[in-house]
Amino acid sequence: MNLPFGSGQTNRNWPVLLDPIHSMSYCISFDDVKAAHERVKPFTNLTPILTSSTITKWSSRSNVLFKVEAFQKTGSFKFRGATSAVQDLPADIAAKGVVTHSSGNHAQALALAAKNRKTTANIIMPDTAPITKLNAVREYEATVTICSPTERVSTCAKIAEQTGGTIIHPSENPKVIAGQGTVSLELVSQSKDFLPPGESLDLVIIPVGGGGLASGNSIALRGLLGDKVKVSERSELAL
């Protein structure tokens, strides 16, 4: 069983890299996000930016932009992180397959990422997972194991031990985090077509679940825009 950066629990032995903007240390750097973008570009969609005149009018902003990750392959940003992690595996490790636990989005993402790498994926899904996502994972030719929600982590570890596959955690994996950060590399570049000359994004709102999307894009935005962009807690945000 291989556990590089994602065993289902926080690994305090992860290598720590220095953020290029601040003196705090993080598990990834801006350079890691740029490297991840090179890995995922051949496989991912360049998702569009859409606008809404109504929401812009409701807000106090001159422009409100939406980076539509629902148009990403498998239907979410999760495909970026999964692809980044799987493509980074050495050939001999990748050949043994990958393993994860997920209710749906990361499950679909890893299944397709593994298929693109021509390796196997074992996906542990809870018995509460939506049938549409379960079927999608199987369509991507992954092997699915169903268990109770409370047994996902232990079942994942057991199957990884049996198969020798590498666990790719949905969010606690630096390569996954770096892959999710590629959203902002595209966003900052694309936003120039919607903003007045010389202006850049000054506020980016990122939803937080497991934290992979938020952390990866916070690193990317700081690397791209420094302190020009606001990354704050929800209570401080005001459109």
Domain that residue 107 falls in: 17-234
Across residues 59-78, what is the average pLDDT? Answer: 93
Distance from the Cα of residue 29 to its chain's centroid: 15
The mean per-residue pLDDT over the stretch 201-211 comes to 89
Hunting for tokens 């109504």 — which residue is that?
A: 54
> What pLDDT is stored for residue 5 in this prediction?
36
Q: Is the separation of the CB atoms in 129 and 197 below 8 Å? A: no
**More confident position, 239 or 30:** 30
Q: Is the pLDDT of residue 77 over 80?
A: yes
183 in a structural domain: yes
Question: Hey, what are 211's tokens?
Answer: 């934290």
Residue with the bigger pLDDT between 229 and 164: it is: 164
Give percent of the chain above pLDDT 70: 85
| Residue 9 within a domain | no
pLDDT higher than 70, residue 64: yes
pLDDT at position 141 over 60 = yes
User: Is the confidence at residue 32, as pLDDT, over 70?
Assistant: yes
CB 19 within 8 A of CB 26: yes
- Residue among 146, 149, 174, 150 nearest 159 (CA): 146
Rounded Cα distance, 83 and 94, in Å = 12
Task: Determine, yes or no, domain membership for 158.
Answer: yes
- Taking the CA atoms of residue 124, residue 110, residue 166 and residue 30 in that order, the dihedral angle to the nearest 10 degrees is -130
Residue 123 lies in a domain: yes
Q: What is the 8-class DSSP label of residue 61? A: S
Residue of 231 and 107 predicted with greater confidence:
107
Arithmetic mean of pLDDT, 86-103: 97
* Phi-psi map region of 8: left, alpha, beta (phi>0 left; psi -120 to 50 alpha): left
Q: What is the pLDDT of residue 9?
A: 37
Query: Would residue 1 count as lying in a domain?
Result: no
Q: Would residue 157 count as lying in a domain? A: yes
| 103 in Cβ contact with 129 (< 8 Å) | yes
Residue at 10 is within a domain: no
214: domain CATH number is 3.40.50.1100
pLDDT level of residue 184 (50, 70, 90 thresholds): very high
Return the pLDDT at 237. Answer: 53
Give the separation between CA 81 and CA 186, rounded to whole angstroms. Answer: 15
Residue among 218, 187, 192, 202 at smallest CA distance from 48: 187
**pTM metric for this prediction:** 0.86
Q: Report, as residue numbers or ranges, the catalytic residues.
A: 78, 103
Res 236: pLDDT: 55
Q: Would residue 89 count as lying in a domain?
A: yes
Q: Which of 16-20, 38-42, 80-84, 147-151 has the lowest mean pLDDT?
A: 16-20
Task: Look over the chain and give the mean of its residue pLDDT values, rounded to a whole number.
Answer: 87
The pLDDT of residue 233 is above 90: no
From the CB of residue 158, how many other CB atoms can be counted at a distance below 10 Å? 16
Q: Answer yes or no: is pLDDT of 22 > 80.
A: no
Cα–Cα nearest to 77, from 166, 237, 158, 187: 187
Question: Could you please report the per-residue DSSP string of 209-232?
Answer: SSSHHHHHHHHHHHHHHGGGSB--
As for how many domains the chain has, the answer is: 1
